Amino acid sequence: MRTVLAIDVGGSQYRLALISKKGEITFHHRGKTQREQGAIWLIPRLIEEIEQIKSSGYNPLAIGVGFGGPVNYKAQQILASLHAPGWDQNNLSEILSAHFNLPVTIDNDGNVGALGEYHFGAGQGVKNMLYYTVSTGVGGGVILNGESWRGHHSQGAELGHLPVVFNGPICTCGYRGCVESICSGLSIARQALEAVENTQIPTSLRAILNKTGDLTAKDVFSCYYEGDKVAQQIIDYVKRVFVSGLIGAINLFDPEAIVIGGGVGLAPGFVDGLTEQVNEQIMIPGRRQIPCVRGTLGDNSVLFGAAKLAWNSLGME
C-alpha cells in the first residue's frame, strides 16, 4: 500500500506513522523527547527512526510534519518552540528532505490538527471550520473555504491567544488574559493551586496536593466529576472564558462548525453545553446554530493532518 510518513513533534513526545491516502495507519511509533536537549537530540533521533522504517521495507512517498510551535509555512521554517531549545529558525524540513530525498512539508500543529479533523475526522463535510486543541497550551487552526488559513506571516489562526480577560493572567505569548492563560491544562493547574491556597471550602484538591506535592488539570477534572465544589468553580470559569473566546472567533470567521480536541478539550464534560452557551450568546441569536463538537481523531489529529500535508505535496489532493 502506498503511504506517506506523518510526524507529530510535541513538547514531551514525538510520533511517527505511515498513513495511506484514505487514512489507514500501517505503522505507528511513539517516543519521548529529551526536553532539555531539544532539537540537537530529536533531529538525529528522527533520522534514525526514519532509516529504520525504510530498512523494514517501507517506502513512504513524502513526509508531513506537525510541529508544536510557530512555523513560517511559506519559508518552511520552524520559528521557535515554547517547550524545548534549539528550534529557533530551524530547517527540519530541509534537513529531512535532503537526507531522504523526499518532499517534506511542515506546519504548526494547530493548523495540522485542524487539517486532520477537517479531512478525516469531525470536520468532514463542512467547508469553514475552527479547530481548538486544548491541552498543555491552547492551539488553533482555521479552515476557510476548504483551505488552511494561516495569515500573512503564517502566524494567524492562534485561537488560543485571543485576549478575553482584560488585565488577566500573563500568557505564554507575553500578553495578558488570552484564552490559553485561563483554559490550558497548565492554567487550570495554576488556578487549582491558587484556589487551594485561598479557599476555606473543603476540597479534595487539598488532599491531592498534600499527597503528591502538585496539582494537574487531570486532578481538577477528576474532582470535578466527583462533584467537588472548588473544582466545579474552576471548570465552570474555564468554560465561561472559553465560550468568550469562541464567540470572538465566531464573530470573526462565521464558521459552520467548531471542532475541539486535545487532552483537556476531550476530557468528559469540557465540550458539554458549549454549543448551547455559544448559540444563545452570539450576535443575532436564533439565526445560526454553530455546533461545537469533540474531535473524533483523539490524539491522532496531528498525524492525520501531517499525512494530508504530505499527500498534498505530491499533488494528490
- Contacts (CB under 5 A) with Zn ion, residues 143-172: 161, 171
Residue 293 within binding range of Zn ion, rule CB under 5 A: no
Which one, 53 or 162, has the nearer CB to Zn ion? 162
Cβ-based neighbour number of residue 173 at 10 Å: 16
Put residue 207 in one of left, alpha, beta given phi > 0 → left and psi -120 to 50 → alpha: alpha
What span, in angstroms and rounded, lies between the C-alpha atoms of 212 and 230? 18
- Contacts (CB under 5 A) with Zn ion, residues 262-281: none
| Interaction mask 105-144, Zn ion, x per CB under 5 A | ----------------------------------------
Q: How many residues bind Zn ion (CB under 5 A)?
A: 5
What span, in angstroms and rounded, lies between the C-alpha atoms of 137 and 132? 10
Which one, 175 or 225, has the nearer CB to Zn ion? 175
Yes or no: say if 39 and 85 are a contact pair by the CB < 8 Å rule.
yes
Yes or no: say if 65 and 305 are a contact pair by the CB < 8 Å rule.
no
Yes or no: say if 73 and 150 are a contact pair by the CB < 8 Å rule.
yes
- CB 91 to Zn ion: min, Å: 26
Which one, 165 or 290, has the nearer CB to Zn ion? 165
Which one, 3 or 108, has the nearer CB to Zn ion? 108
- CB 180 to Zn ion: min, Å: 5
Which one, 64 or 140, has the nearer CB to Zn ion? 140
Which one, 171 or 234, has the nearer CB to Zn ion? 171
Q: Which of 138, 159, 178, 234 binds Zn ion (CB under 5 A)?
A: 178
Nearest alpha carbon to residue 150 among 99, 94, 92, 108:
108
Yes or no: say if 185 and 266 are a contact pair by the CB < 8 Å rule.
no
Q: Which of 165, 173, 186, 293 binds Zn ion (CB under 5 A)?
A: 173
- CB 10 to Zn ion: min, Å: 19
| Length of the chain (residues) | 317
Within 13 Å of residue 204, how many CA atoms lie on the same side as its CB? 15
> Where along the sequence are the contacts to Zn ion (CB under 5 A)?
161, 171, 173, 175, 178
